[in-house]
Structure 1
Amino acid sequence: MKEDVVKALDLLRYGKPEKGNIVVMGIVNVTPDSFSDGGRFLRPETALEHGRALVADGADVLDVGGESTRPGFEPVPAEEEWARLSPVVGELVAEGVTVSIDTTKAFVARRALEAGAMVINDVWGFQADADMASVVADSDALAIVMHNRHAVDEALDLRADWRRFFDTSLEHAERAGLPRDRVVLDPGVGFGKTQLQNVEAVARLGELRAEYDLPVLLGVSRKSMFGHFLGRPTSDRLAGTLATHLYGVEQGATMLRVHDVREHVDALTMRQILKGVP
């Protein structure tokens, strides 16, 4: 494995000490319809400008997506999704940025990995495309597997459903030859859950980490739960996001997927400074 690949993987696994070994993942949506910033960064030039700004603000990795995953999104053919991503991914990699690709499609993942991406972030945890686990296994990349559901069930036993879903995802990974130490779990806040179940997913995140002994990514940035519980519009959800992410870190989250990178880096840095006071 190349030295730069080892360095990138170690950063993603262990983070930077000054942020409490928490990895901050900045969001770059190259889409017309994402819930928070759809259309703002659809042009490659604006997406690249945004990505560079997030890196300057302290992002450790950029999660670049070419298809929205918001409720009611319009599916995008794989070729079109990659056409949106290709110029952005290629340039960011050339600039030395660690890139994650938010996709459920093996075709897109393969092309992105060939272009130098280091993470595949699959919101269906290897269960939407039968080839996804094998594509990741054939690379040196990390995989983020997220819990998802096709429909909301108010009577859901969340922990049992996590177990059912992640056991299946990890079986796919094992059959493909993908080592467990290259897998990160995501509790799936905002995906197929009621708002109370979204809160439960954050509150019980430590149980998820303990059960599988794997790193956990938490991504609640600007999500509808803050509109529901706080009455805040999408543009005014930073305080709720920060509080929830910091709580998630206390429960064991090691990666945070965020829109507002600078504010999260500041919060994590101050948390680490305060923890160091004798």
Structure 2
Amino acid sequence: MPDWLDVGLRSILFIAILFLMTKLLGSKQISQLSFFEYISGITIGSVAAEVITGVDGNILHGIVVLIVFGGITYAVDVISLKSKKFRDIAEGKSSIFIKDGKVMEDSLKKEHYTIDDLNSLLRKKNVFKVADVEFAVLEPNGDLNVLLKKENQPITPKDLHLKVANEKVPQTVIMDGKILDSSLTHAQKNREWLDVELKKLGVMLDNVFLAQVDSYGQLTVDLYDDKINVPSPQQKPLLMTMIKKSQADLESFATQTEAEDAKQMYLKNSKKLKEVINLLTPYLNG
């Protein structure tokens, strides 16, 4: 058999083996590697490359090595799930780099990190001043998680005691110009509704690259032709404007009339519309 054909067949065989091993070991192997998984991954890749390119090598020996390393890695993962002590040994422990706003120099030295390394990790979290950090911990996979001081944290609606509507996962209802009926069903919409919304935006289905329905039932589209500007739907902001105008008109009518009964009626209904505005603001804020 020609060498090039032998290498090609070995490559196909080991791609299949490595794919099956990765599926067995789970997505953790390609996302968050522990110390042991890092070593195992390098070894498995090196063995596979050596057996593939080494024409005179023994394929069976290479397969045995991969199976052994894959089996040990799988066993380590299983044991780690059941034993905290074993998990600390195999995967490592978290290290606190900043505590109560103070840099832990001993932890930096233990992990062989310099202050420049720490600053680099902080900048990746959009933090440029160590003084802004209340707590920072280095995870076993090398990620740095940061908790800002209270005064440096972004303000949330909860801080302002505002009620907001719950967000749901947007449903992709059109992809590559094709309607996804299952996503339409999840969004509690149908094709007739979709046709009407597309006509409102003035776009054709064939020109839609991507269309999604958000948790408020709003349709947004992205077209193949990037030169076409699609207007943002304004129905909800306009509806809120109309309600606010009606509420303001009722208050104005109450000040203009001299009839006490009419004044009380206007004020009563104005108050009701005010409650409606407060209730619908999270949904009709545009």
The two structures have a TM-score, normalised by structure 1, of: 0.17
Structure having the higher helix fraction is: 2
Q: Report 1 or 2 for greater relative contact order, CA contacts < 8 Å, sequence distance ≥ 6.
A: 1
Rg larger in 1 or in 2?
Answer: 2
